[in-house]
Amino acid sequence: MDNKGFNWLNVLLVDDSVAILKFVEKVLIESFGIAHIHCAASASEAMQILRRSKNINLLFLDLNMPNIDGIQLLEQLHKLDYHGYVVIMSGVSTKIISSVEILAKKYSLNYIGTLLKPIHEQDFESIINKIGTSRIKSKNPESLKTYEIVRAIKNNDIEVLYQPQIELSTRDFMGVEALCRMNHPSLGLVSPDRFIDKAEESELIVHITLAVLKKSFNDWHKWYQHGLNIKLSVNASPIALQQPEFADTIFMLLEQFNMPAKNLCIEITEGVLADDHLQELVNLNRLNMRGVELALDDFGQNHSTIERLQKLPLTYLKLDKSYFIENKDSFNQMSLINTCLAIANKLQIRTIAEGVEDAEVMSLVTEMGCDIGQGYYISRPIAAKKIFSWAREWQSLT
């Protein structure tokens, strides 16, 4: 077994059985050459070690322990902002393990596999080898400063890229999602993860939304003039939807760019359904009455009840990309996707699968009856002027 290359790992083993701790430690040392290993016989001991040694980057965690159990420990890891890898060890049924895996993912933990008890030496290789390919997530990319966001808005440095969406049954190019970027003087093109949250704290998001709307309507108009009649989806944060003039601004822009309302889709997040903000509901209903479509983004990230889904006239449900990117082979994941599709079907809401990264997922979502696909397999987000050449190439492939 190739045991080079793992000595940078700093491991914490958590299990209330000393025999298991000893066994796992021995395998990690002898088969993988890992020298830095801490052991904890309880969750509280594990927390102490984690607080003390910030450089632990691989954790083996027993699910069933007295006092706090492994599930509670997962929650605490999330709170501690632990960025390393997580391996679960358990003797409980695979069904419980699947839901714990989903939970680990919800907590944005870098879960790489489960060792089923009784654990055998040969079970380790496939899990440890994932470390080579699965990078440690940087969950919170460093946020930009408020002044950098203000400067970008003032200097017109908010750019928009477009990610194509296709009708899965025909493979026809049907629309694009507008995704913003910031052109930063020293960092180059910066992803929205680094400034949207910050912009939402200070209402700067309203200016960003306006910039994205103007740019994308303008691009849509150019595509249309060149014979491309597609749908444009724009993300709207709750703060933007709370502005009394939001709907009117959109009506004005639709008129200015000669864009039919039915060509526009506004993407909202589950939070909007939960917080019952009157102004948001007024804006969304006014938009919808004029023909603008509404999509619920990132469905499955939080808890949307069927009742809440019925509160708004939604045209689309966008199944969150995490459904298709991680754990896509697990049985529980499949049934979750099926349940979402059945709910959407019942409510006559069309479905969009986000995060279609490969041919396998593309055929899977098509077979499962999803309506629309979006993801790197179809195209990454691209500049407005590249939409034509992408569309030609896509058509030639299908």
- Between residues 34 and 196, which has the closer beta carbon with respect to ligand C2E? 196
Nearest distance from C-beta of residue 341 to Mg ion, angstroms: 17
**Which of helix, strand or coil describes residue 123?**
helix
- Between residues 98 and 165, which has the closer beta carbon with respect to ligand C2E? 165
Place of tokens 């939409």: 387
**Residue 358 near ligand C2E by CB under 6 A:** no
Tell me which of 10, 90, 165, 237 binds ligand C2E, using CB under 6 A: 237
**Nearest Cα to Cα of residue 113 among 121, 124, 122, 25:** 124
Place of tokens 């994932």: 130
**Residue 110 near ligand C2E by CB under 6 A:** no
**Which of helix, strand or coil describes residue 234?**
strand
Burial grade of 156 (CB within 10 A; 0-12, 13-18, 19 or more): exposed
- Could you give the CA distance from residue 37 to residue 39 in angstroms, rounded to a whole number? 7
Place of tokens 């400034």: 195
**Which one of Mg ion, ligand C2E, none interacts with residue 357, CB within 5 to 8 A by kind?**
ligand C2E
Binding residues vs Mg ion (CB under 5 A): 235, 267, 297-298, 354
**Residue 180 near ligand C2E by CB under 6 A:** yes
Tell me which of 192, 215, 218, 301 binds ligand C2E, using CB under 6 A: 192
- Could you give the CA distance from residue 197 to residue 239 in angstroms, rounded to a whole number? 11
Tell me which of 196, 266, 353, 387 binds ligand C2E, using CB under 6 A: 196
**Residue 163 near ligand C2E by CB under 6 A:** yes
Residue with the shortest CB distance to ligand C2E: 375
Nearest distance from C-beta of residue 133 to Mg ion, angstroms: 24
Q: Judged by CB under 6 A, how many residues of this single chain contact ligand C2E?
A: 25
Q: In the chain, which residue ranges form alpha helices assigned H by DSSP?
A: 18-32, 43-52, 70-79, 94-106, 124-133, 146-154, 196-201, 204-225, 238-241, 246-256, 270-275, 278-289, 306-309, 322-325, 331-346, 359-368, 387-397
- Between residues 10 and 233, which has the closer beta carbon with respect to ligand C2E? 233
- Between residues 86 and 199, which has the closer beta carbon with respect to ligand C2E? 199
**Residue 298 near ligand C2E by CB under 6 A:** yes
Rg (alpha carbons) of the chain, rounded to whole number: 24
Q: Are 312 and 287 in contact (CB under 8 A)?
A: no
Site for ligand C2E in 61-100 (CB under 6 A): none
Nearest distance from C-beta of residue 154 to ligand C2E, angstroms: 17
**Which one of ligand C2E, Mg ion, none interacts with residue 168, CB within 5 to 8 A by kind?**
none
* Beta pairing class for 58-62 and 10-14: parallel
**Residue 16 near ligand C2E by CB under 6 A:** no
- Between residues 12 and 294, which has the closer beta carbon with respect to ligand C2E? 294
- Between residues 60 and 162, which has the closer beta carbon with respect to ligand C2E? 162
**Nearest Cα to Cα of residue 68 among 77, 58, 81, 59:** 77
**Nearest Cα to Cα of residue 130 among 97, 90, 87, 100:** 87
**Which one of ligand C2E, Mg ion, none interacts with residue 175, CB within 5 to 8 A by kind?**
none
Point out which span in 30-38, 74-82, 205-213, 277-285 binds ligand C2E (CB under 6 A): 205-213
**Which one of ligand C2E, Mg ion, none interacts with residue 101, CB within 5 to 8 A by kind?**
none
* Beta pairing class for 85-90 and 231-235: unpaired
Nearest distance from C-beta of residue 251 to ligand C2E, angstroms: 19
**Which of helix, strand or coil describes residue 352?**
strand
Q: How many angstroms from the chain centroid is the CA of residue 389?
A: 28
- Between residues 23 and 377, which has the closer beta carbon with respect to ligand C2E? 377
- Between residues 124 and 324, which has the closer beta carbon with respect to Mg ion? 324
- Between residues 89 and 295, which has the closer beta carbon with respect to ligand C2E? 295
- Could you give the CA distance from residue 87 to residue 100 in angstroms, rounded to a whole number? 11
- Could you give the CA distance from residue 274 to residue 352 in angstroms, rounded to a whole number? 21
Site for ligand C2E in 365-394 (CB under 6 A): 374-376, 381
Q: Are 109 and 137 in contact (CB under 8 A)?
A: no
Chain contacts with ligand C2E (rule: CB under 6 A): 163, 179-180, 191-193, 196, 205, 209, 212, 235, 237, 267, 297-298, 321, 325, 354-357, 374-376, 381
